[in-house]
Structure 1
Amino acid sequence: MKWLVALVVALNLVVAMYGSLKQRPPLDVHAQEVSPSQVKLLPASWTPAASAPQASAPAASAPLGKIAASAPSAQAKPAGHDKKAASAPKAEVKPAAKAEASKPAAKAAHAAAAKPQDKAADKPAEAKAMACFSWGALNDSLLARVKGGVPQLKLKPGQMQEASKEEAKGSGKFWVYYPPLSTQSETKTLSAELKDKGFDNYIVSNDEFKGNLSMGLFGKEDAARTLAARLKAAGYDKAVVKSKDQPAKSTTLTFKDLDAAQAEHLKALQKRLTPGIALKGC
């Protein structure tokens, strides 16, 4: 039984090898059909090249499939087409190159045209800046004196502006005081002790230093420092010397858009009224 199965397998292998080694019949190219979509018609304006008659004879005897396959290559090369295709990009590039080359020249011309205008615009600005002055700072008495001479300038509305501010000004007085103790009763006891030792004082009750012991007000700082040193030598080393300041008002006048005549009158007025306070440009 096993020999029978082996014989059948061997026969199948032989048949398979014979079928693979057997030569197939040659393919008949002329019997193949050509699809209508593969056929392309040449345009009416197409003319064959100089060598077309020699190539047309084999083409006539060639199969229809070969003619259809060669049609696109023939159609792609009409007479004069290569020359036009080669020259077309050159015609398009030249205007672009000329436009790019003309841009720097246009920019240079625009800059040259703009420079005189810029210079002309700068000149009025410089002249306007030269005709602007500030005069100050002036205290109340000097301000009244200056305003008395301003009508000579014949200013228009808005040509003069006034700006005032408060400043702390020393009064020339120096105050010596002693800080209060932890309780009011202790501060009163300290005040009595100081009076017994010859240091006159009183308890402040009506300003921001309420509760402090005022030891005296002096016109010179040296005198105030001497009292503070005496208190320290007596065992009271917390005495303070403070300069008494008072607010003072100062005003600055600004003159704008002055013509040449007004500027000259303003300079003459400043030299006559306030020789120590010069005009400043703005």
Structure 2
Amino acid sequence: MKWLVALVVVLNLLVAMYGTLKQRAPLDIHAQEVSPGLVRLLPPSWKTDASAAQASAPAAAASAPVAGKPAASAPVAQTKAEASTPAVKAPEKPAQKPAEAAGKKPQDKPAEKAAEKPADKPAEKTAAQEKATACYRWGALNDSLLARVKGGMPQLKLKAGQLQEDSKDENKGSGKFWVYYPPLATQSETKTLSAELKDKGFDNYIVGNDEFKGNLSLGLFGREEAAKTLVARLKAAGYDKAVVKSKSEPAKMTTLSFKALDATQAEHLKALQKRLTPGIPLKGC
């Protein structure tokens, strides 16, 4: 056992001596050379990270808030921290459009277009009014002709207000001639005259129900020459006051006015007039 301990001690001594006597490898100075382009001169105020940490430690200790007092140097430390932090570059705004640079809003254009549209409507309305300017008058028409004309009007497709009717009563000649003798001063004298005329072959009667009441009616003739012949006979017999009158009858006459007709309606109206009343032309309003 003792030999074993002694052997271990000897081995340790030998190892210690070997390490002491062993020569170190020569130092290669050229391996540590640095390129002159990589060398930079540092300012006198430059400090290593370690020295900066050591310098800031007392300042941090000095700026630490004391219990019961507010930290007065906190804004200064915050300012330094903000100064040391690189500023984040704000995103650049897109360049303004020419309309925005001039102070005009983008929504101004739709507003201008909306303002222009109402101005176009009156122009369209004026053009439509110019197309519907035809105006005609058709008449005068008696009752039978008016019924025929109204029968052909549906093809005109008239709208409300395009047709107007104007009617009035007119005295229309019947083509007959009436011979009468004016009444005398009294009714008895007129009756005596009527009897005398009958005795001489002139048939007559006393009118009693119209504007010629009291006159002696001597006859109604289809030709004016026949009426004048009777008057000549009465005059030859001594009765020279006989009168010839053209007999007329009241008739209702209607004039139709067509207003604001378009081109199609005007053409249909002209064709209808030529077909129904060739002798009664259309007249402009």
For the aligned residues, what is the CA RMSD?
Answer: 2.3
**1:12-23 pair list within 5 angstroms:** none
Check 1:128–1:153 CA distance in 2 against 1; reply closer, same or farther (3 A cut): closer
In structure 1, the residue matched to 2:207 is 204
How far apart in 2 are the matches of 1:254 and 1:230?
A: 51
Indicate the SS of the match to 2:146: helix
CA distance in 1, matches of 2:200, 2:282: 57
Structure 2: distance between partners of 1:256 and 1:224: 47
Using the TM superposition, give the Cα deviation of residue 207 of structure 1 relative to its aligned residue in structure 2, in angstroms. Answer: 2.1
**Partners of 1:185 and 1:271 in 2: how far apart?**
58
- Residue identity in the other structure for 1:278: P
Question: May I ask how many residue pairs the two structures share in their alignment?
Answer: 162
What is the percentage of aligned positions where both structures have the same residue?
Answer: 81
The answer on 1:195 being equivalent to 2:210 is no
Partner of 1:165: 168
Q: What's 1:245 paired with? A: 248
Give the structure with the larger helix fraction. Answer: 1
Give the C-alpha shift of residue 215 in structure 1: 1.3
- For 1:155, the aligned partner's letter is L
**Structure 1 residue 187: deviation in Å?**
1.6
Taking a change above 3 Å as real, the CA distance of residues 217 and 158 of structure 1, as seen in their structure-2 partners, is same
Alignment partner, residue 39 of structure 1: none
Quickly say closer, same or farther: Cα 1:277–1:224, change in 2 above 3 A: same
Q: 1:126 & 1:199 partners in 2: Cα distance?
A: 69
What are the within-5 Å matches in structure 2 for residues 49-88 of structure 1? none
Match of 2:216? 213
CA–CA distance in structure 2, aligned partners of residues 194 and 275 of structure 1: 48
Q: SS at the partner of 1:257?
A: strand
Which residue does the alignment assign to 1:261? 264
Is 1:178 the equivalent of 2:157? no
Distance change (3 Å), C-alpha of 1:237 and 1:123: farther
- The answer to whether the 8 Å contact 2:139/2:255 transfers is yes
For the residue of structure 1 that corresponds to 2:261, the secondary structure is coil
Secondary structure of 1:156's partner?
Answer: coil
Structure 1 unmatched runs, 5+: 1-120
TM-score computed with the length of structure 1 as normaliser: 0.53
Which SS does the other structure have where 1:256 is aligned? strand
Give me the whole-angstrom Cα distance separating, in 2, the residues matched to 1:239 and 1:212: 10
How far apart, in 2, do the equivalents of 1:163 and 1:157 lie? 16
Q: CA deviation at 1:127?
A: 5.2
Instruction: Give the SS at the match of 2:190.
Output: helix
1:152–1:174 distance in 2 versus 1, CA, 3 Å: same
| Structure 2: 5+ residue stretches without partners | 1-124
Change (3 A) 1:204 1:270: closer
How far apart in 1 are the matches of 2:272 and 2:211?
Answer: 45
Distance (whole Å) between structure 1 residues aligned to residue 242 and residue 251 of structure 2: 28
Structure 1 position 168, deviation (Å) = 0.8
Runs of 4+ in 1 over 6 A off after TM superposition: 121-126
